[in-house]
A and B are shown apart, each in its own frame.
Chain A
Amino acid sequence: MRSNKVSILLEQACLALGLIVVLGGGASAAEFSLKAKAGSMTLPGGETVPIWGFALGEGPPTVPGPRLTVPPGEGLTVHLTNLLPVPISFVIPGQKLPDNNAGPVWTDWPNDTVTWSGSRPEGNYSARVRSFTHEVPPGETRTYTWSTFEEGAFIYQTGTNPAAQVQMGLYGAVTKNFSASQAYGHPDTIFDKELVLVYSALDPKMNEAIASRRYGPGTSTPNTRDYVPKYFLINGKAWPDRYLAKVSGTTEIFVGDRVLIRLLNAGYHTFVPVFLNAYVTARAEDGQLYPFARKQYALELAAGRSLDVWLVPSKSETITIYDGRLNLTNAGKPTPGGLYAKIPVIGPLTIYKTRYSQATKTLKVFARTKESPGTVVLTAVGFGDLAYRPSKRDYYGAFSPVPMKPDSVTVVSSAGASDTKPVPFTLR
C-alpha cells in the first residue's frame, strides 16, 4: 500500500483525467468519476437538441455516456458529480443496488418539497418515489459502490424520475468480463472481438421541454404520455453516419473472429435487431447466461435489456443489422436513416481501397491483414510490395508510373492469403 500522500495525489490526478484507479489493499474496484452535465447534440440531418449526459472529466457530455469497463475480478466505485439543475442518482439494472445505497427517495409529489429517504413514511400512501437510490443534489458529488460486480453488459443510468431523465441522455454502457478474452465463466463465451451497440431513441420536443424546465405538473408537458421518438440511435449515431462503423471497444473484425456483440437498449420501446445473411448465437440476457444458447437472426431487444450474442463471420462481407420494427428514418425523412448498422469484416487479407490517378499515372493500394505486423509481406502482383503504416494499422503502396488504369489489382501475402479488387476511375 502506497503512502497516503502519494496515493491521494495519484487519486486526484487520476480523477481529473478520468482514468481507472486501482485501490490498494483488500478487494480491488474500478473507480470512475462521472459528471452529469447539460449539453447539446447534433442529430442526423443537422437538428440540434439539448441533452443531459455523462462525461468523464471536464469534457462535454456524450450520449450515450462513456463506456465503463470493470476489469475481471473487480468491483466498481462511481463518484457522480451533478452539474444539472435537478437531483439525479445512479443505478445499474441487473446489478444489486449499490452497497452504500442510502435511498430510495420519496417526495410529496407534485410539490416535491418534502423528501424521505430509505423507507416510505409510515401510513403515507401518496408519496411517490423520485429516486431508486440515494440522490446527488445539484452541484454536489456522491459515491456509489459495488464491492462485487456481476459479469456481463449493463446500462448505467440515472435512477431519478427515470421517465424524464433517462431519455435526456443519462445512460451509458458498463461491462465486465471474466477475462480479457472470455465474457463469462463458461468456456463457450470466449471472444476475439467485442462490439458494444447501445440502442436508444430521442423525442426532440421532450428534450426541449425537459431542458427548459417546462416539464412536469402544471406545465404543457406534464408527463411522457405524448412521447414519440423521432430519432433512433446506435451509440448515439444514426444511418448514414459512417462513424457508426467505428464502434467503441473494437478494432477491425476479421473473418473467423469470434465476435461478441453486446446490444443494449436504453430506449423506452422494444427494438428488433435483425441480422441479414447471418445467424447469431444468443447466450446471455441482462448479464445472465441462458440455460441453453440459441441461434436466431431476429432479437427481441426490449426496453432496458442487454443481449450478448456471438457471431463468427465466414466471409469478408459487412455485418448488416436493421431494425425489424422499421425505425429506419431520421425524423421521418424519406432517405434511409435510423437503426441500420453495418460493420465491415475484413478477410484474412482485404484490399479496402484502390485509387488510380490518370494525371499522375499513380496506382494506390490500401490493404489490411489479420496477421501481426512484421510477420508477413504483402505484395501487389505486378507492382510491388506494400508497406505497413502503424498510424493507420494498414498496408499501403503507391506505384508509379502505371500508364493505364488496370481493371483490378491483386494483393498476395506471404502467409498465403490473397484478395482482388477492381480499380475505380478517378480524375485526380
Chain B
Amino acid sequence: MGPVICDGMSHAEKGFLRNPSRKKEAVMRWKRFLSIVALVSAVGLGIGVCSMAQSNFMVQCPADNDGIDADGDGDPTNDIVCKHLTAGDGFATMADGTVMYTFGFSEVPEDVPPGQVFALRQVKAELPGPTIVLREGQELYLNLTNVGMINRPDLFDTHSVHWHGIPNSGSIFDGLPESAPTVKIGATFPYYYATLGKEGTYFYHCHVEVTEHMQMGMIGQIYVLPRQDQDMVLRSSGNPPYAGFAYNDGDGSTGYHVSKAIQLAGFDSRFHAQHIAIQNLPFAQLKDDYHLMNGRGYPDTINPNLLGASPENNGHFSQRMDARIQARQGERVLLRVHNISTTHLFTVRVLGIPMKVVGIDGKLLRNGSKDLLYETSSLTIGGGQAADLLLDTTGVPPGTYFFYTTNLSELINGQEERGGIMTEIVVCPASGCGT
C-alpha cells in the first residue's frame, strides 16, 4: 500500500508515524472526544485513517519523559510547556468608561471539558492576551481554538498565532494566512516552538486580516528567560542577588531584580464602534485615539485590580494586567517594552531614572566584544519592535517616577486629557515597600 493520502493526513502525520523511536518517546495525552477514538486506535495500529479526523478541540501536548533537563533548572520533566488558547471576541473598558468591542486571545483552564471549550470560552477575549513565559530550552505546544466571534456571527474569519520575531521560523507555525493554514471556527491548530538560542523579548498576535485583527486587540506577550538564569554564581553577583537576566550576557550586565512587560498599543474608537455596528470598517481613517499600556490607558495603568467586567462582556474581566512598577531603591528594573500599535510609533522616557537600553528585538546589544548598550531618555519604538530597558535605582530618591510617551499629544483617552501612555514607577526605600 502506497502512502496514505486522505482527509487530514499530510506528510506531517506520516512523518510523525514513521519514527516512533525518536529521542523523545512521545506519549500523547488526548483530550477524550468521541470522534477521536477511532483515530487513536488507528494510530496505534500504524495505519492511516480516512474518517473525519476531527481536531476540533484536540490539544496536542506530549509528556516530557525523555529524562533530559533541557532548560537546566534541575527538573527533567518540565521542559514541555502546553498552552491552550482561544481566539474570539469580547469587550474591554477604556479609562473613560467607554466599552469597546474587541477580538482577543484567552487561555482555556485545565478543567474545561473539550465539549465545552467552544461554549464556555466565547466572549472571553483578553486585552492583552495571556502572557507566555518560557525558559530557554523548553518547547512550547500552543494549541489555538477558534471559538468564533459571537457578537459578529456574520464573520467566519480564521485566526492564527504569529510569534513575532522568533528567529529562523518556518511557515507552518508562522501564522501568516497567505503562506500557512489558519484555523476555522470550531477547530484547533497546534503550534510548536523550540526556544534554544531564542532568549529575549517577543510578542504574539493574530496575522489573519492583520490590520483589523490587531487593531481589534488580538495581541499578547511572550518572552523567553535566558539559560543564564540558572547560573547561581552569576545571580549572586548582584547586590542583592539578581532575580534573573535579560540575556545570556556572560557577565551579569543585564541582571535585574524586578521585571515588568509593557505592551504599547492603541484603539481607534470609531473603528471599534463601526465593527460592533456591522458597518464598513474605516481603514483609511485609522488613527488611534485611545493609547494603551497592557491594554489600559492612564490612570488604569496603575490600577492593581482586574478591569473590563462590563455587562457587554458578561461580567468577565477582560483586562487582567496593569502596568505598575515598584522597586526598592538600589534594585534594577527590567522593562520589556514593545509596540504593537497599528497607527503610531512612540518615543518613551522614564523621567528621573537613568534608562539603559540593553536589548532590542530579542537580541542583546552586543556584537562580539563590542558593547552597544547605551543610556538615553528617549527611545523610539516603532510597531513591531521590542526593547529591553534596564533602570538602575541606585541613588534614586524614593518617590514616584513616570514612564510615558514624549509624544505628549498622545497622552489621551479619547476625549480625556492626562491619559494614554503613562504609568508610575514607585521607588521604595531600600528597606522595603509596603511601609
| Residue positions of A touching B, CB distance < 8 A | 91, 93-94, 96-97, 101, 104, 109-110, 118-120, 125-130, 132, 161-164, 166-167, 216-217, 222-225, 227, 268-270, 285-288, 290-292, 300, 302-305
Contacts and interface: CB of A to CB of B under 8 A. Distances in A.
B299 interface: yes
Given A93-B349, A96-B352, A285 B374 contact: yes
Contacts of A216: 417
Which of A128, A167, A292, A300 has the most chain B CB atoms inside 10 A of its CB?
A: A128
Contacts of B161: none
Given A97-B351, A225-B289, A305-B378, A268 B371 contact: no
Nearest to B300: A125
A223 B415 contact: yes
Given A104-B400, A302-B406, A163 B417 contact: yes
B299 A302 contact: no
Contacts of B289: 225
B399 A291 contact: no
A101 B396 CA distance: 12
19 contacts: A93-B406, A97-B401, A101-B399, A110-B416, A120-B424, A125-B299, A127-B299, A129-B424, A163-B418, A167-B409, A217-B417, A222-B416, A223-B412, A224-B410, A285-B376, A286-B377, A288-B375, A288-B377, A304-B377
A157 to B, nearest CB: 10
Given A109-B418, A128-B418, A292-B370, A270 B299 contact: no
Nearest to A227: B409
A9 B203 CA distance: 62
**Interface of A (DSSP majority class):** loop
A292 B414 CA distance: 42
Interface size class of B (residues with CB under 8 A): 35 or more
B372 interface: yes
Contacts of B197: none
B343 interface: no
A163 B411 contact: yes
Contact of B411 (A104, A132, A224): A224
Given A288-B376, A303-B347, A119 B408 contact: no
Contacts of A270: 345, 347, 380
A6 to B, nearest CB: 35
B408 A162 contact: yes
A268 B299 contact: no
Contacts of A269: 407
Given A223-B412, A288-B374, A303-B406, 4 more contacts: A91-B351, A97-B401, A118-B400, A304-B406
Given A132-B351, A217-B417, A93 B408 contact: no
B299 A223 contact: no
Nearest to A305: B378
B171 interface: no
4 smallest beta-carbon distances between A and B, as pairs = A304-B406, A223-B417, A224-B409, A125-B303
Interface of B: 289, 298-300, 302-305, 345, 347, 349, 351-352, 370-378, 380, 396-397, 399-402, 406-412, 414-419, 422, 424, 426
Contacts of B305: 125
Contacts of B304: 125
B406 A225 contact: no
A303 B378 contact: yes
Contact of A224 (B303, B351, B417): B417
Contacts of A162: 408, 411
Which of B372, B375, B380 has the most chain A CB atoms inside 10 A of its CB?
A: B375
Contacts of B298: 128
Nearest to B424: A120
Given A222-B416, A268-B408, A292 B372 contact: yes
Contact of B299 (A96, A126, A166): A126
A270 B39 CA distance: 58
B347 A164 contact: no
A97 B397 contact: yes
Which of B300, B378, B400, B426 has the most chain A CB atoms inside 10 A of its CB?
A: B378
A119 B409 contact: no
B400 A119 contact: yes
Contacts of A285: 374, 376, 378
Given A93-B351, A225-B415, A120 B408 contact: no
A303 B399 contact: no
Nearest to A102: B399
Contacts of A125: 299-300, 302-305
A268 B421 CA distance: 14
Nearest to B301: A125
Contacts of A291: 370-374
B58 to A, nearest CB: 42
Contacts of B345: 270
Given A288-B376, A304-B349, A224 B419 contact: no
Contacts of B299: 125-128
Contact of A225 (B399, B412, B418): B412
B417 A120 contact: no
